[in-house]
Amino acid sequence: MEPRPIVTVLHRDTVPDSDLMAPVAQRADVRYTEADGLADALRGADVLFVYDFQTRALPAAWPCADRLRWLHMGGVGVDAVMFPELRASDVTVTNTRNVFDAAIAEYVLGQIISFAKDLPGSIRLQQRHEWQHRESERVAGATALIVGTGSIGRTIARLLRAVGMTVRGVGRRARSDDPDFGTISDDLHAELPDADYVIAIAPLTAHTRHMFDATAFAAMKPHARFVNVGRGELVVTEDLVAALADNTIAGAALDVVDPEPLPADHPLWDRPNVVLTPHNSGDVHGWRTEIVRAFTDNFHRWAAGLPLDNVVDKTLGYVPG
């Protein structure tokens, strides 16, 4: 009789619901640990479920992963675990693709509408008890450039097209007949001048890190708005602050920033043309449940020897589409 596999679950503060994890516990020994106990919990483990998907603890604990075969990230981005030793190993990496798509798309649409109707300005006037008539912009007819053409980017594209926006995409491969974007370009700077809204949802890789710098912001329209729901490190933060301060661009909605969390004295907090949210664009009610279900569904496939869902290409740093 073969020994039961060992599944290590890395969490922070909140432990995955035991009822949801029960199917895994029936077939494996489950070890729950926070970052400070990860090294010990990895010894002899076959599977690592990174429920704390923003962790940076794995590289230091990696030498203790003596039997690991599969690592599942509880989020979409896998940049936190794409260190050289893991890339070079034969450990399979999967992520929680599709769980956050619709929620993030709704967040993006909400921020676009907020910019077009200047809802933050209305709130500021209300707080000052000022009745000031103003005109607003239409969303329909505006052009959105979505940088990142994975499943979240595609869901955003479909939603924005449904409200009458013109949508284009920037991705790794150019094509002209895409069902969601119509046209996908591989040249970011060539596309930026035509966009009213630029949405960043690209995975963080060596190629995309700091892709939004002073040159990129200078290529955008002065009335353009920038929405980042990808990773803070896609942006050179100092260049974004400067572009907002000198009106190179008109505004930004940032669900992710670099550094994160944003220091209390950072200038982005007080910019009137900036909306900040704490990396929660996809965190609708029930999202933690969906994360665990995505893992347990994949665990059943793993235990049965079936191909896993959402396997990450460790060379690219994301699930190929």
The per-residue pLDDT for 54 is 87
User: What predicted TM-score, i.e. pTM, was given to this entire model?
Assistant: 0.94
Tokens of 72: 């599942």
Q: For tokens 């479920």, what's the residue?
A: 49
Q: Residue 149 has what pLDDT?
A: 96
CB contact at 8 A, 223 and 168: no
The residues, any chain, with a CB within 8 Å of residue 56's CB and separated by 6 or more, are: 80
CB contact set of 30 (below 8 Å; sequence gap of 6+): 6, 7, 8, 9, 21, 24
pLDDT of residue 214: 98
User: What per-residue confidence (pLDDT) applies to 223?
Assistant: 97
Fold of domain 6-99+285-303: Rossmann fold (3.40.50)
Position 7 scores a pLDDT of 98
Going by their DSSP bridges, the two strands 175-178 and 182-185 should be labelled as: antiparallel
Q: Which residues are catalytic?
A: 231, 260, 279
Per-residue pLDDT, averaged over 92-111, amounts to 96
Q: What integer pLDDT is reported at residue 195 of this predicted model?
A: 98
Ranking 152-161, 221-230, 265-274, 312-321 by mean pLDDT, the lowest is 312-321
Per-residue model confidence (pLDDT) at position 3? 87
DSSP letters along 213-263, please?
SHHHHHHS-TT-EEEE-S-GGGB-HHHHHHHHHTTSSSEEEESS-SSSSPP
Mean local confidence (pLDDT), 199-205: 96
Predicted confidence at residue 321, as pLDDT, reads 73
pLDDT at 1: 61
Which tens digits make up the pLDDT trace of 131-166?
Answer: 999 999 999 999 999 999 999 999 999 999 999 999
**pLDDT at 2 exceeding the cut of 80:** no
Q: For 240-260, how does the pLDDT look when each residue is reduced to its tens digit (9 = 90+)? A: 999 999 999 999 999 999 999
Mean of all residue pLDDT scores within the chain: 96
Q: Confidence band (pLDDT; 50, 70, 90) for 13?
A: confident
Residue ranges of the domains in the chain? 6-99+285-303, 101-276
Percentage of residues in the chain having pLDDT higher than 90: 96
What gap in Å lies between CA 167 and CA 146, rounded to an integer?
A: 7
* CATH class given for the domain over 101-276: alpha beta
| pLDDT above 80: residue 125 | yes
